[in-house]
């Protein structure tokens, strides 16, 4: 890190400057945590800002921008920070419009327009427009988090550019904040900024010939820099200049946008090729059919879907395993679909053609294409596909020759790359695979960039056709634009922003600060590239799913912002708060910052406990700091990121590893020790359950518990059962005169393989069936083990009893494991990995040593199931994989059996409306839709699987006093959905935490699926 950067990192700002900004009343933060969080975007670059501000109103934005400029600091406006080339980072104040500025107003269907705050996300807007039959046309692949402000500033576009054009084509007017704080409205119908407009008009007119020469027609996307060519066509409309200005001219507060009718029909033609070259050649011919999109994907991309559960259906649809190919064109039509698809088919291009018209199947194909970048960057190892020449476009007819040109750059350097992207727009997202930690590859990086810039010039193409110039391409702009057009752009910048306040040094180098803002492609690289991460501890986890290394998994986070979306299961804390540090990306960034010692031990903690700019401080503690706590302590370990982050960042593991390293060094605190031992507490509590329950309900006891170990007094505590499940299980068998119900061995005897004892619970069921007047059934399916987890055993035995009833009705002999220990989940969640591993080892040993033919092991609690099937492997437990193969969730096991044999159980009719909240760990392993099907096996039942993430309870998390409010905030998404159900709807939730949360926050009484099924037998 340069001295200058180090100063910035530790707060270059003076107290006077900070005071000035704070006095505006705008939420502004200058602490080290914020500076680290906003030092990266989705690019390979890193610059530390002095802080970040989050304006709520246009007036606040105006005040904060004015004060910052007045204080002599630069401003970088920001949306979701998904820019790929360093557009959204800067060394001054980041003004983040995505936090609060998310209002959608003034929908006018006649005029086909709508007004949006700059922080409105594209998917949010389209969801709002859909019921009205409209959409916003340009479709960036990051639609789940990209903001309209960012899209306008980058002049973004997507696959359907041939019909929708770019974002700029849909902007009617903008409300902007100038560097001096003035609020202005610009657009064709606004008479504002008269002198600026006149200046720009003159400049642009004078450059007309140069533009024609440099930018011949035929390019579908956009040219780099300000939209001067568009402005020439509509000279009174300054929105054309702002769109594509990458935050260098003014901040956009809100926008009036044109909206488009939703397509009436859609259809896809998939064409498979033996080579990329053939696909490029075919594109030239297909463009004449006027498709909405032609997208290209190639082998490196679709090979990335191998072995990924979520893409298996798409792989099957594309027949990738049975009919291999090198490249695929996805051709989409919006009008006269049948006719145009039949023409396409009759052309007999490539190896084969497949027509896809079903919406679900089309979605599957698009999901592969949309995940393109991440499927590539998610590869294992330090070499990754790098974005720096990924945005160049030529005319579609030039594609075959352009690709040959690129290959001739790459081949002598021995570089691999994928050539996927918007073929119909002549734009291929080519990302050479480079190890940015390696000096040799850094040389290649520069060479490829230099040569590609020259190649694009040769084709008179655009080096930056949708992602912007940012840092990566600024140094090439003189070559690309030529002196005259570059000078026009400089003059426009001077007219708008004479003091060079906004995002300085982007698009063109800033001559006024020779060493400051002269961005080069290989400057400001992320610190972990130039200074490889050194771990101050020895990781203990396997990271078995993918990277097999802590650092490898941490560095999978490329900043793409997928975890800032507002749906799915990643990341519930961000969904609830919109706070960057509450996202997976924020957490990964802070862990990296900690390991790079960018976390200050005493960073400006001053005056009323508020973080201030402070003095440059000492290097931080990699394992313990306020920043690290803010990032890690709020992670729910819900595993939502593992399957949904396209690069499979596994924050639950990273967090556990970091905590473990800390406890190893500093000792395990009392609270974490207690929370690791809930199974032991259960055992003790059940010795005298009535007394214990009364004692724990006693108010002074709760107050004392809150004060000493931080358990919130607002939380109910799980009640201890009068009779433990395992005891009642054994007793009932005993009373039936059978052999002991539990089997297994104590750890001492587990060396000698324990004898499997005949389980006799069958008698209990027989009694039950006798009472019901049915003929007794004999077990026909053999034995299985039911894992009586801590909660079923000590708190909710009725769930275990219900599960036994269902399983025996299916014809199984059910047995429990004698002397089983806690699965280790509570200890794992606390980072108490030694204890967790000890429990895991014990349990695997005891289960493996049963002298029996490997019975299936069923779990009622999803977090215990995920411990056995995933985290035992992560803890490197011997034989964990073998045991995992025998482990099933109760619901999945029963559903699979009933799918094979629908008549295996006869349920009574139950006219009920049921909603199911699946546990997040279960969701991270399997698609939960089957649970709806399972509930609907009860005649008369209508079931819906709720679209929810973690409930916010997450084991002990929601019970902690300091996390209570956040826990309730996270639960809101679930509570809202429950609130909208018809009265008397029944709720099924298989996680004990989820049931606890729902019970605490509503007057509902959720059930486990086992109870629901058992009641209908």
Ligand X SMILES: Cc1cc2nc3c(=O)[nH]c(=O)nc-3n(C[C@H](O)[C@H](O)[C@H](O)COP(=O)(O)OP(=O)(O)OC[C@H]3O[C@@H](n4cnc5c(N)ncnc54)[C@H](O)[C@@H]3O)c2cc1C
Q: Is 84 in the site for ligand SF4 (CB under 6 A)?
A: no
Tokens of 642: 């593992």
Least distance between ligand SF4 and beta carbon 954 (Å) = 8
Neighbour tally for 637: CB within 10 Å: 24
Which of 314-322, 566-574, 804-812, 904-912 is the region at the interface with ligand SF4 (rule: CB under 6 A)?
566-574
Cβ contacts of 360 within 8 Å, gap of 6 or more? none
- Position among 52, 58, 251, 649 found at the interface with ligand SF4 (CB under 6 A): 649
Judge contact between 18 and 544, C-beta under 8 A.
no
For residues 863 and 989, what is the distance between their CA atoms, to the nearest angstrom? 13
Binding-site member from 196, 441, 466, 603 for ligand X (CB under 6 A) = 466
Question: Which residue carries 């030694």 as its tokens?
Answer: 834
Q: With H, G, I as helix, E, B as strand and everything else as coil, classify residue 772.
A: coil
Residues 363-382 that bind ligand X (CB under 6 A): 373
> What residue has token string 């309870």?
953
Could you tell me which stretch among 27-35, 83-91, 307-315, 475-483 binds ligand X (CB under 6 A)? 83-91
Among 11, 49, 55, 77, binds ligand X (CB under 6 A): 77
Q: Give the nearest distance from C-beta 262 to ligand X in angstroms.
A: 19
Whole-angstrom distance, CA of residue 879 vs CA of residue 881: 5
| Contact region with ligand X (CB under 6 A), list: 80-88, 409-417, 487-495, 791-799 | 80-88
Judge whether 856 and 893 are in contact, CB under 8 Å: yes
CB atoms within 10 A of CB 1002: 15
Instruction: Give CA 573 to chain center in angstroms.
Output: 11
* Nearest Cα residue to 253 out of 326, 305, 165, 186: 186
Residue 149 CA to residue 823 CA, distance in Å, equals 48
Choice between 138 and 932, CB closer to ligand X:
138
Quote the least distance from Cβ 568 to ligand SF4, whole Å. 9
Question: If binding is defined by CB under 6 A, does position 637 make contact with ligand SF4?
Answer: yes
Which listed residue (636, 686, 887, 974) binds ligand SF4 by CB under 6 A? 636
Counting contacts by CB under 6 A, is residue 765 touching ligand SF4? no
For ligand SF4, the closer of residues 314 and 563 by Cβ is 563
Q: Which is nearer to ligand X, 370 or 783 (CB)?
A: 370
Instruction: Outline where 849-889 has alpha helix (H).
Output: 862-866, 872-874, 880-884
Q: Among 440-448, 492-500, 637-645, 838-846, which window interacts with ligand SF4 (CB under 6 A)?
A: 637-645
- Nearest residue to the partner ligand X, using Cβ: 150
* Gap between the Cα atoms of 616 and 594, Å rounded: 16
In the structure encoding, which two tokens stand for residue 88, read together? Answer: 């959204």
Residue 74 contact among ligand SF4, ligand X, none, beta carbon within 5 to 8 Å by kind: none
Based on the shown chain and the rule CB under 6 A, indicate whether residue 46 belongs to the binding site for ligand SF4.
no
- The CB-of-636 to ligand SF4 minimum distance in angstroms stands at 4
3-state secondary structure of 16: helix
Please check whether residue 296 is in contact with residue 286, taking contact to mean a CB–CB distance below 8 angstroms: no
What sign does the dihedral 590-595-598-599 (CA atoms) show? Answer: positive
User: Contact between 118 and ligand X (CB under 6 A)?
Assistant: yes
Q: Smaller CB distance to ligand X: residue 84 or 860?
A: 84
In the complex, minimum distance from the CB of residue 637 to ligand SF4, in angstroms, rounded to a whole number: 5
CB 472 within 8 A of CB 85: yes
Q: What's the alpha-carbon Rg for the chain, to the nearest Å?
A: 31
Alpha helices in 326-358 (DSSP H): 337-346
Q: How far is the CB of 46 from ligand SF4 (least distance, A)?
A: 14
Q: Which of ligand X, ligand SF4, none lies near 52, with the C-beta cut-off 5 to 8 A by kind? A: none
Taking CB under 6 A as the criterion, which residues in 245-264 touch ligand X? 246-247, 251-252
C-alpha–C-alpha distance, residues 762 and 514, integer Å: 84
Q: How many residues bind ligand SF4 (CB under 6 A)?
A: 27
793 interacts with, out of ligand X, ligand SF4, none, CB within 5 to 8 A per kind: none
Query: What is the C-alpha separation between 797 and 719, in angstroms, rounded?
Result: 11
Judged by CB under 6 A, the stretch of 148-156, 632-640, 682-690, 929-937 that binds ligand SF4 is 632-640
82 interacts with ligand X by CB under 6 A: yes
* Least separation in angstroms between CB 386 and ligand SF4: 14
Q: Which of the stretches 62-70, 161-169, 565-573, 895-903 binds ligand SF4 when contact is defined by CB under 6 A?
A: 565-573
Query: Exposed, middle or buried, 239 (CB in 10 Å: 0-12/13-18/19+)?
Result: buried
560 binds ligand SF4 (CB under 6 A): yes
Question: Does residue number 645 form part of the binding site for ligand SF4 (CB under 6 A)?
Answer: yes
Rounded to whole angstroms, the maximal C-alpha distance in the chain is 102
CA distance 172 to 257: 5
Q: How far is the CB of 651 from ligand SF4 (least distance, A)?
A: 4
On the CB side of 332, CA atoms within 13 Å amount to 25
Closest to 597 (Cα-Cα) out of 620, 624, 569, 565: 620
Shortest separation between residue 182's beta carbon and ligand X, angstroms: 15
| Binding segment (CB under 6 A) for ligand SF4, from list 344-352, 564-572, 736-744, 889-897 | 564-572
Nearest approach, Cβ of 16 to ligand SF4 (angstroms)?
Answer: 36
Per-residue mark of binding to ligand X, 125-164 (x: CB under 6 A): ---------------xxx---xx-xxx-xx-xxx------
Residue 640 interacting with ligand SF4 (CB under 6 A): yes
For 722, the token pair is 């009068």
- Report helix, strand or coil for 252: strand
Of 503, 573, 790, 948, the residue at the interface with ligand X (CB under 6 A) is 503
By CB under 6 A, what part of segment 576-615 binds ligand SF4? 584-585, 587-588
What is the H or E stretch that residue 783 is in?
strand 783-787
Please select the residue that binds ligand X; options are 36, 83, 173, 464, rule is CB under 6 A. Answer: 83
Restricting to residues 530-559, name those near ligand SF4 by CB under 6 A. 557-559
Q: 96 or 895, CB closer to ligand X?
A: 96
Residue 586 binding: pick among ligand SF4, ligand X, none (C-beta 5-8 Å cut-off by kind) = none
The tokens describing 168, both together, are 């700029």
Residue whose entry in the numeric block shows the structure tokens 């983040």: 96
Closest by CA position to 925, among listed 641, 643, 583, 720: 643
By CB under 6 A, name the one of 49, 51, 55, 81 that touches ligand X.
81
Say if residues 800 and 833 touch (Cβ distance below 8 Å).
no
- Minimum CB separation from ligand SF4 for residue 448, in Å? 23
Check: CB of residue 247 under 8 Å from CB of residue 198.
no
How far apart CA 685 and CA 349 sit, in angstroms, is 72
Query: Does 952 help bind ligand X (rule: CB under 6 A)?
Result: no
Residue 801 near which of ligand SF4, ligand X, none (CB within 5-8 Å, type-dependent):
none
> Rounded to the nearest 5°, which phi and psi values hold at 199?
-60, -50
Stretch that binds ligand X, among 82-90, 301-309, 454-462, 934-942 (CB under 6 A): 82-90
Other Cβ atoms within 10 Å of 338 Cβ, number: 12
Stretch that binds ligand X, among 72-80, 758-766, 802-810, 821-829 (CB under 6 A): 72-80
Contact 645, 625 (CB under 8 A): no
Minimum CB–partner distance for residue 102 and ligand SF4 (Å) = 20
How far apart are alpha carbons 73 and 49 in whole angstroms?
Answer: 10
| Residue at token pair 């306040």 | 501
- Using CB under 6 A, pick the residue from 52, 64, 71, 80 that binds ligand X: 80
Q: Residues in the site for ligand X, rule: CB under 6 A? A: 41-42, 76-84, 87-88, 97, 118, 140-142, 146-147, 149-151, 153-154, 156-158, 246-247, 251-252, 373, 466-467, 503, 560
Query: What residue ranges bind ligand SF4 (CB under 6 A)?
Result: 557-563, 570-573, 584-585, 587-588, 635-641, 645, 647, 649, 651-652
């Amino acid at each position: 890190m340069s001295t200058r950067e180090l100063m910035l990192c530790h707060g270059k700002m003076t107290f006077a400057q900070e005071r000035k900004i704070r006095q505006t009343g705008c939420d502004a933060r200058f602490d080290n945590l914020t500076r680290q969080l906003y030092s990266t975007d989705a690019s390979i670059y890193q610059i530390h800002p002095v802080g970040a501000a989050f304006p709520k109103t246009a007036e606040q934005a105006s005040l904060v921008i004015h004060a910052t400029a007045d204080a002599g600091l630069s401003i970088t406006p920001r949306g979701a920070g998904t820019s790929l080339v360093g557009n959204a980072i800067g060394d001054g104040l980041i003004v983040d419009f995505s936090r609060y500025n998310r209002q959608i107003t003034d929908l006018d269907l006649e005029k086909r327009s709508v007004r949006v705050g700059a922080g409105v996300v594209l998917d949010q807007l389209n969801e709002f427009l859909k019921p009205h039959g409209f959409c916003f046309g340009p479709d960036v692949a990051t639609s789940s988090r990209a903001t309209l402000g960012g899209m306008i500033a980058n002049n973004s576009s997507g696959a359907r550019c041939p019909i929708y054009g770019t974002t700029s084509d849909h902007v009617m007017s903008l409300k902007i904040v100038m560097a001096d704080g003035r609020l202005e409205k610009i657009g064709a119908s606004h008479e504002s900024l008269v002198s600026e407009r006149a200046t720009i008009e003159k400049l642009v007119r004078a450059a007309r010939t140069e533009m024609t020469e440099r930018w011949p027609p035929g390019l579908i996307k956009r040219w780099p820099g300000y939209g001067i060519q568009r402005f020439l066509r509509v000279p009174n409309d300054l929105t054309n200049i702002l769109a594509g200005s990458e935050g260098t001219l003014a901040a956009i507060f809100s926008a009036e946008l044109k909206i488009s009718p939703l397509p009436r029909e859609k259809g896809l033609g998939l064409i498979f090729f033996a080579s990329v070259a053939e696909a490029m050649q075919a594109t030239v011919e297909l463009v004449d059919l006027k498709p909405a999109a032609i997208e290209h994907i190639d082998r490196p991309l679709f090979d990335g879907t191998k072995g990924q559960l979520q893409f298996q259906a798409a792989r099957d649809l594309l027949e990738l395993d049975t009919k291999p190919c090198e490249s695929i064109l996805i051709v989409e039509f919006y009008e006269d679909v049948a006719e145009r698809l039949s023409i396409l088919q009759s052309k007999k291009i490539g190896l084969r053609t497949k027509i896809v018209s079903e919406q679900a199947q089309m979605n599957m194909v698009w999901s592969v294409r949309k995940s393109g970048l991440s499927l590539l960057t998610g590869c294992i190892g330090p070499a990754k596909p790098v974005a720096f020449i990924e945005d160049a476009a030529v005319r579609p007819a030039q594609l075959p020759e352009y690709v040959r040109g690129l290959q001739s750059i790459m081949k002598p350097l021995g570089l691999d790359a994928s050539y996927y992207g918007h073929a119909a727009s002549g734009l291929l997202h080519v990302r050479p695979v480079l190890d940015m930690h390696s000096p040799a590859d850094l040389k290649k990086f520069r060479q490829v960039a230099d040569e590609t810039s020259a190649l694009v010039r040769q084709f008179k193409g655009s080096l930056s056709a949708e992602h912007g110039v940012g840092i990566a391409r600024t140094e090439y702009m003189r070559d690309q634009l030529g002196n005259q057009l570059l000078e026009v752009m400089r003059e426009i910048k001077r007219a708008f922003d004479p003091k060079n306040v906004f995002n300085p040094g982007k698009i063109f180098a800033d001559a006024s600060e020779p060493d400051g803002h002269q961005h080069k492609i290989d400057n400001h690289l992320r610190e972990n590239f130039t200074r490889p991460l050194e771990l101050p501890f020895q990781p203990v986890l396997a990271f078995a799913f993918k990277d097999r290394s802590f650092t490898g998994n941490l560095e999978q986070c490329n900043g793409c912002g997928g975890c800032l979306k507002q749906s799915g299961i990643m990341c519930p804390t961000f969904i609830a708060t919109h706070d960057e540090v509450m996202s997976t990306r924020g957490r990964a960034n802070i862990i990296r910052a900690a390991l790079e010692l960018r976390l200050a031990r005493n960073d400006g903690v001053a005056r009323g406990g508020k973080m201030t700019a402070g003095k440059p401080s000492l290097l931080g503690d990699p394992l313990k700091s306020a920043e690290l706590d803010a990032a890690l302590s709020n992670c729910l370990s819900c595993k939502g990121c593992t399957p949904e982050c396209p690069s499979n960042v596994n924050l639950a593991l990273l967090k556990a590893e970091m905590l473990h390293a800390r406890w190893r060094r500093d000792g395990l605190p009392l609270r974490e020790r207690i929370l690791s031992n809930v199974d032991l507490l259960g055992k003790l509590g059940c010795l005298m359950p009535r007394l214990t329950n009364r004692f724990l309900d006693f108010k002074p006891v709760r107050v004392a518990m809150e004060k000493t170990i931080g358990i919130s007094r607002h939380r109910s505590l799980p009640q201890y059962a009068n009779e433990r499940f395992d005891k009642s299980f054994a007793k009932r068998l005993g009373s039936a005169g059978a052999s002991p119900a539990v089997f297994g061995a104590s750890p001492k005897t587990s060396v000698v393989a324990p004898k499997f004892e005949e389980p006799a619970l069958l008698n209990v069921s027989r009694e039950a069936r006798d009472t019901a007047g049915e003929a007794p059934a004999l077990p026909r399916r053999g034995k299985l083990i039911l894992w009586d987890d801590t909660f079923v055993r000590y708190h909710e035995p009725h769930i275990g009893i219900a599960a036994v009833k269902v399983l025996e009705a299916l014809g199984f002999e059910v047995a429990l494991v004698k002397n089983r220990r806690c699965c280790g989940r509570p200890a794992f969640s606390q980072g108490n990995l030694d204890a967790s591993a000890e429990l895991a080892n014990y349990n695997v040993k005891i289960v493996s040593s049963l002298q029996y033919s490997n019975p299936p092991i069923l779990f009622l609690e999803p977090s215990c199931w995920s411990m056995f099937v995933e985290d035992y492997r992560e803890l490197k437990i011997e034989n964990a994989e073998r045991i995992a193969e025998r482990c099933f969730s109760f619901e999945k096991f029963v559903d699979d059996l009933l799918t094979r044999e629908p008549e295996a159980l006869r349920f009574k009719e139950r006219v009920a409306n049921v909603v199911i909240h699946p546990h997040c760990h279960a969701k991270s392993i399997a698609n939960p839709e089957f649970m709806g099907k399972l509930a609907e096996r009860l005649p008369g039942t209508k079931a819906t699987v709720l679209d929810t993430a973690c409930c916010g309870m997450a084991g002990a998390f929601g019970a902690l006093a300091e996390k209570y409010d956040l826990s309730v905030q996270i639960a809101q998404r679930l509570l809202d959905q429950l609130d909208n159900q018809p009265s008397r709807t029944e709720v099924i939730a298989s996680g004990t935490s989820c049931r606890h949360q729902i019970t605490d926050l509503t007057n509902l009484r959720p059930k486990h699926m086992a109870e629901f099924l058992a009641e209908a037998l």
